[in-house]
Structure 1
Amino acid sequence: MAYQILIITTEYLSRYMDDIFKMHSDNVIYRIVEYKHFSELRTLYQEHAHWADGIMTTGIVVETVLRKEVKGTLKPILSLGTDNENFYKIPLKLLIENRRLEPDRIIFDVFVCISPNASVMELIQRKSVNDMFPHFNKWLEQASVEELHKIEERCVSQIKKLWEEDKLDMVICRYSSIVERLKRLKIPCVFAAISDEYAHQMVEHLLAKIKLDKITAHLPAGILVTPTKPEEGGWNEYQELNIHKTLMDFAKEHDLNFLIQKKREGLLVITEKTVVSHLTKDFQSSELSEYLKDSVDFDLTVSYGIGHTIEEVLKNIVYAWRAADGSGDAFLVDEEKHLTGPLDKGKTVLTSDMVNPHLQAVAKQASLSTMVIHRLNRLLCLLDKREITSRELADNFHITVREASRILKNLETAGFAAAVLQKSEHMRGRPAKIYHINWEI
Structure 2
Amino acid sequence: MKIRLGLLGAADSFEIIQSVIIKYPEIICMPIECLTEEDLIKKVTPLLEEVDMWLCTGPITYKIVQDWKGIEAPVFYITYTGSTLYKTVLQVLYEQKIEVDEISFDSGNVATWEQALHEAGIKTKPRFVESEIISLEGLVQYHFELWESGQTKAAITGHPIHHELLRLGVPTYRTLPSTMAVEAVLTNILRTYEMLHFRATQIAVQIIEIDSFVGLIKDTFSTDDIFRIEIKYMEKLLSYTKKVHGSIKSSGFGRYVIFSTRGLLQDITGNFSRVPDIHEFDQASKEAVTCGIGIGQTVYDAEINAGNALLHAKECGKSTWMICFDDKKIAGPLGKPEQLTYSYTSEQLESVSQQTSLSVITLNKLKSSLKKLSSDEINSNELANYMQISPRSARRILTVLEEKGFAKVVAEEKPHTRGRPRKIYKISHF
TM-score, normalization by structure 2: 0.75
Q: Which amino acid aligns with 2:359?
A: S
Q: What is the rounded CA distance, in whole Å, between the counterparts of 1:277 and 1:388 in structure 2?
A: 32
Structure 1 residue 152, shift from structure 2 partner: 1.9
Q: What is the rounded CA distance, in whole Å, between the counterparts of 1:438 and 1:39 in structure 2?
A: 45
Of residues 276, 281, 288, the one that matches 2:265 is 276
Indicate the residue corresponding to 1:219 in structure 2: 202
Distance change in 2, residues 1:432/1:29 (3 Å): closer
Structure 1 residue 297, shift from structure 2 partner: 6.9
Q: What is the rounded CA distance, in whole Å, between the counterparts of 2:135 and 2:249 in structure 1?
A: 51
SS in 1 for 2:409: strand
User: CA deviation digits over 1:348-403, x for unaligned, max 9?
Assistant: 59785748969747855874434323333443454565542213322443333332
Distance change in 2, residues 1:285/1:205 (3 Å): same
Would you say 1:405 and 2:413 are equivalent positions? no
SS in 2 for 1:176: coil
Q: Is the 8 A contact 1:221 1:307 kept in 2?
A: yes
Distance change in 2, residues 1:326/1:15 (3 Å): same
Indicate the residue corresponding to 1:389 in structure 2: 379
User: CA deviation digits over 1:204-235, x for unaligned, max 9?
Assistant: 44234334433433221112223469969x99
Distance change in 2, residues 1:272/1:10 (3 Å): same
Percent identity of paired positions between Structure 1 and Structure 2: 20
Q: Which amino acid aligns with 1:200?
A: E
User: CA deviation digits over 1:172-206, x for unaligned, max 9?
Assistant: 32x43322112212223322222213313432442
Structure 1 residue 433, shift from structure 2 partner: 0.7
Task: Give unmatched runs, 5+ long, in structure 2.
Answer: 220-225
Structure 1 residue 15, shift from structure 2 partner: 3.9
Indicate the residue corresponding to 1:170 in structure 2: 154
Q: Is the 8 A contact 2:205 2:295 kept in 1?
A: yes
SS in 2 for 1:407: helix
Mapping 1:56-135, distance limit 5 Å: 56-59=55-58, 74-91=72-89, 94-95=92-93, 100-103=98-101, 105-110=102-107, 120=113
Distance change in 2, residues 1:38/1:215 (3 Å): same
SS in 1 for 2:173: strand
Would you say 1:186 and 2:169 are equivalent positions? yes
Would you say 1:420 and 2:422 are equivalent positions? no
Indicate the residue corresponding to 1:144 in structure 2: none
Q: What is the rounded CA distance, in whole Å, between the counterparts of 1:255 and 1:365 in structure 2?
A: 42
Q: What is the rounded CA distance, in whole Å, between the counterparts of 2:153 and 2:234 in structure 1?
A: 72
Q: Is the 8 A contact 1:227 1:235 kept in 2?
A: no
Q: What is the rounded CA distance, in whole Å, between the counterparts of 1:356 and 1:85 in structure 2?
A: 45
SS in 2 for 1:288: coil
Q: Which amino acid aligns with 1:391?
A: N
Of residues 349, 358, 379, the one that matches 2:369 is 379
Indicate the residue corresponding to 1:53 in structure 2: 52
Distance change in 2, residues 1:51/1:430 (3 Å): closer
Q: Which has the larger radius of gyration?
A: 2
Structure 1 residue 407, shift from structure 2 partner: 2.0
SS in 1 for 2:265: helix
Q: Is the 8 A contact 2:338 2:385 kept in 1?
A: no
Indicate the residue corresponding to 1:317 in structure 2: 306
SS in 1 for 2:293: strand
Q: Is the 8 A contact 1:76 1:213 kept in 2?
A: no
User: CA deviation digits over 1:297-322, x for unaligned, max 9?
Assistant: 75212333322223432344355446
Q: Which stretch of the first structure deviates more once superposed, 319-328 or 3-12?
A: 319-328
Q: What is the rounded CA distance, in whole Å, between the counterparts of 2:254 and 2:68 in structure 1?
A: 37
Q: What is the rounded CA distance, in whole Å, between the counterparts of 2:405 and 2:149 in structure 1?
A: 49
Indicate the residue corresponding to 2:277 in structure 1: 288
Of residues 299, 315, 326, the one that matches 2:288 is 299
Structure 1 residue 262, shift from structure 2 partner: 1.4
Q: Which amino acid aligns with 1:256?
A: H
SS in 1 for 2:365: helix
Distance change in 2, residues 1:195/1:353 (3 Å): farther
Q: What is the rounded CA distance, in whole Å, between the counterparts of 1:265 and 1:15 in structure 2?
A: 60
Of residues 130, 137, 140, the one that matches 1:153 is 137
Mapping 1:218-237, distance limit 5 Å: 218-227=201-210
TM-score, normalization by structure 1: 0.73
Q: CA RMSD in A?
A: 4.5
